[in-house]
Amino acid sequence: MKLKPAYTYILVTLAMVFWGMSFVWSKIVLGYYEPITTVLLRLILSSALLFAGLAAFGKLRRLRRADLKLFMLSAAFNPFLYFLGENYGLKYSSPTVTAVIIATIPVFTPVVAYLIYREKLSLLNIFGLVVSFLGVLFMLLEQDYSLSVSPVGVAWLALAVVTAVFYSVLLKKLAVRYDAFLIIAVQNLIGTFYFLPLFFIFDFAQFITVKPTTELITSLLLLAVFASSLAFVFFTISSREIGISRTNLFTNLIPVFTAIFSFMILGEAFEMQKVLGMVVVITGVMMSQMNGKSTFANMYRFFVKGK
């Protein structure tokens, strides 16, 4: 049954809320566990939920042998390298700064798409890239030009952005052959096995000393159910109902939700420089996804006429 537009917009907004909250929930879990443990537990829970849902709706299918290497490689980029970068970056940075830097992924994706697939890159895309980069610098630099956050955190987040961009290139090949939910479930499962050796080498000794609390268990479950599962489901449904371009417009809301929830739950300072930097980054991201006059015409029809 086709969803009514109003319900679709509610679903896509909820997906952005869940992804915005994920940085706050992850920050809470990182107060108990190291980043590797945090990601591993999140992937285990999410994989179990996704495979259970696929089995319940009869969506499970065998993978083509020829695609196994592609699945292994794509999982190495995301969730393995991406979540390493994101969670270690979050450990050394605030949730809002992390969300804003991660939000620049769509800015760099067209550049890689041009280099590999020769997809057209407009002047507006390039200008958006520059604007976003300046916005990130504005958030990260103090008045004396020193970094306001740990350089280590920025380096890890840069790794997350780079690996996510190259992952999107690999995902394009898989998306034409498999259901999105199956791809995510398989990649999360493979990612679990990638993280296991690191967990036993670096985190196991610390893991067994932690006494689980209600706050920890709740945050882990919220990450697995809402951020790693339902958000992807809602995003995919919205892409099908209103199109990828319209759905992607909503992703610019993620840093906004992260900033709001970080202020409400974690007491993160809402400084004017951070707010202005966030606005500049989001503006740049939107520009990078536009395509000249046709984009402005589409946005006018979407927001003004509701078509």
Q: Which residues partner with 295 through β-bridges? A: none
Measured CA to CA, the distance from residue 96 to residue 138 in angstroms comes to 14
3-state secondary structure of 93: coil
Cα first-last separation, the chain: 20
Measured CA to CA, the distance from residue 79 to residue 67 in angstroms comes to 18
Write the pLDDT tens digit of every residue in 274-296: 778 778 877 876 776 565 444 44
Measured CA to CA, the distance from residue 122 to residue 41 in angstroms comes to 41
Write the pLDDT tens digit of every residue in 191-212: 999 999 999 999 999 999 999 9
Sequence-ordered list of residues with C-beta below 8 angstroms from that of 288, at least 6 positions apart, any chain: 106, 107, 110, 124, 125, 128, 129, 132
User: Structural domain boundaries of the chain?
Assistant: 5-305
Burial label for 88, CB within 10 Å (0-12, 13-18, 19+), is buried
User: Please, what's the b/e burial string for 26-58 (b: 16 or more CB within 10 A of its CB; e: otherwise)?
Assistant: bbbbbebbbbbbbbbbbbbbbbbbbbeebeeee
Burial label for 228, CB within 10 Å (0-12, 13-18, 19+), is buried
Write the pLDDT tens digit of every residue in 33-48: 999 999 999 999 999 9
What pTM was estimated for this model as a whole?
0.80
Per-residue tokens: 148: 């306001």
- Above 90 in pLDDT, residue 32? yes
Whether the CB-CB separation of 103 and 285 falls below 8 Å is answered with yes
Whether the CB-CB separation of 70 and 174 falls below 8 Å is answered with yes
Measured CA to CA, the distance from residue 229 to residue 54 in angstroms comes to 12
Per-residue tokens: 29: 């879990």
- Above 50 in pLDDT, residue 270? yes
- Above 80 in pLDDT, residue 84? yes
**Which amino acid type is present at position 33?**
Y
Residue 307: what pLDDT?
47
H helix runs in the chain, sequence order: 5-29, 35-56, 68-75, 82-92, 95-102, 105-117, 123-140, 151-175, 180-198, 204-207, 214-222, 231-242, 244-249, 254-261, 272-288, 292-300
Whether the CB-CB separation of 110 and 259 falls below 8 Å is answered with no
Higher pLDDT, 164 or 281: 164
Nearest to 20 by CA among 166, 226, 187, 272: 226
Confidence bin at 145 (pLDDT 50/70/90): low
Residue 148: what pLDDT?
67
**Which amino acid type is present at position 270?**
F
